[in-house]
Structure 1
């Protein structure tokens, strides 16, 4: 069994992240590389600013919200981060969610689906790669970058063009392969 979690990073009202995640969920289910696909919305997770007294590498969590977040992340084999670009970087809510944990992220594959204006969120995607590497995650090369994202939003849904559909397929194919290859490294967890 393999599980993909699609994490919606934006928590702003009127955000595009949720429609983008729903589109990617449909693409992932059609692709068939994962037995289970789930959207995880950071607006619903609602983590406070990092407030654990001990370092995450110890796994000695004091707060129920951290224990719940740990369990959710631990059950996944791979992730897609659906992320906006704010001021040429990734958003604070996503960084906070990543920083809460340590071993739960280790040796897991991650795909990046960024969106924004003309740069399509690519600056945020490049900026987050060292953070993911520090968590021992493997970022796949293929990615989804949605430029001028509003042009793809119709009645609250993302309506992709051929380029977006092809990029989603390539990312999902690579993500499934890398997730399977990393699985033996996680046996100790």
Structure 2
């Protein structure tokens, strides 16, 4: 006997929409194809035909604690677990700023930034002032890639150079506007 996938399909679609993601966005975050997302959200599938690896990858993006068991519970009639983006993103920003980051703030980040925070390890951070606002610069690296102190210093120096150049351009623009 095959289990009806419909409750799980509804839960996957609802969780994706709760995170304000398109199917292609979710596919990128989960490192699966857009077609896989479409299949997970299809009410015509049966449980036995869904690749478990896809369930795990997508479930982890939603922050589901145990995606396979969670889906089995959903199919059996239990509610879906709450959508809760991975804590690595929140942890990286909290460590850098000293303030907890709300899920809505994470969801408002560009997808490529969220992806980097979720897949990379936070190496270092720096709080800089830009136009009177505090900005947080996060340095990340792929897990397992050693980052030396000189590489971190080089990255921060490159950022400082970019900031100086931007400020110089702003001053030049203001001077031209005033003349």
Name the TM tier (shorter chain).
under 0.3
Normalization by structure 1: what TM-score?
0.24
Bigger proportion of residues as helix: 2
Bigger proportion of residues as strand: 1
Structure having greater relative contact order (Cα 8 Å, sep ≥ 6): 1
Normalization by structure 2: what TM-score?
0.25
Mark the structure with the bigger radius of gyration.
2
